Amino acid sequence: MHAVHRSFPLFRSRRLRRTPALRALVREHSLSPDDLIWPIFVRAGEEMREPVASMPGVERLSVDLAVGAARHAQELGIPVIALFPYTDPAKKTEDCAEAWNPDNLVNRATRAIKDSVPDIAVMLDVALDPYNALGHDGLVRDGEVLNDETLEALRKQALGHAAAGADILGPSDMMDGRIRAIRSALEDEGFKHTAIMSYAAKYASAFYGPFRDAVGASGALKGDKKTYQMDPGNSDEALRLIAKDLSAGADMVMVKPGMPYLDICRRVKERFGAPTFAYQVSGEYAMIRAAAQNGWLDVDKAMTESLLAFKRAGCDGILTYFAPMVAEALG
């Protein structure tokens, strides 16, 4: 591409900013409901709504209400919902067996949603932290998060989710080798159409706190996750992980968190051209909502601008708790 250099007044950049119609005509990136994945927290009970204190506007929903949320998402044009469980502490164990229970919360919710709203896609997380008495994404022995032993648990969890009808699996555990292990298990058991969106570049971030509150993992976590999640100072490593996961059978890749890592989103999309997503995580959402509650930001403008930044950085879509709000705003 050859730049054409024109000096003022031949070139006036404000000419194409003068009216909404002109701005729309030359806009390079836009946002639509098709770009959104809505994360929803599921809890036990019936007709139960439970606010998440650290995430204003977000609630834990019982399965029946999650079905209603899925129907609402479809009406708004949101193509995918992602389900996360608030697990009864009594069901959290060190062997994490609830993760592959066919009747655990997210599997029940998936079946119910697919029965009532069959055309919406359901994404389920593959990681052990919602079911782990020690709060980690993998099995723990003597304070060490075990890699290879965790892979078998993740295989069983993935197969349970696929059998429940999940369209997309999102391995978020960051164990080495988990994409190949999960893809092999899906192929061996006949789930060849189940897609994998790998949390391939997931950083050990300070922005996850409200999410851990929402799934009830904050109090359980012993230590931190720095031995398996990425160091925030690393960029080239993210590209190596993306390459590995794509070669192992991932169909889509994700960068997490979102806005602090837009440079990673851009590098991933430019290098691989694969479907690339980002997760606007709980801490990012909570900051915008808290600032808006204090009158410091216009929430509608801030959420739209923040999500547009992901598209500008090269993302094909965004997981965001703002999904229903922004879909309604887009009309």
Q: Which residues are catalytic?
A: 202, 256
Whole-number Å distance between alpha carbons of 310 and 123: 20
Cα–Cα distance list, 157 to 2, 165, 253 (Å) = 52, 13, 20
Residue 129 in contact with residue 135, Cβ under 8 Å?
A: yes
Whole-number Å distance between alpha carbons of 273 and 259: 20
* φ and ψ at residue 93, rounded to 5 degrees: -135, 170
Residue 175 in contact with residue 151, Cβ under 8 Å?
A: yes
* φ and ψ at residue 267, rounded to 5 degrees: -65, -40
Q: Which value, in Å, is the radius of gyration of the alpha carbons in the chain?
A: 20
For residue 39, give the DSSP letter.
E
Only one residue has tokens 């009808």, namely 165
Which of 178, 179, 172 is CA-nearest to residue 204? 172
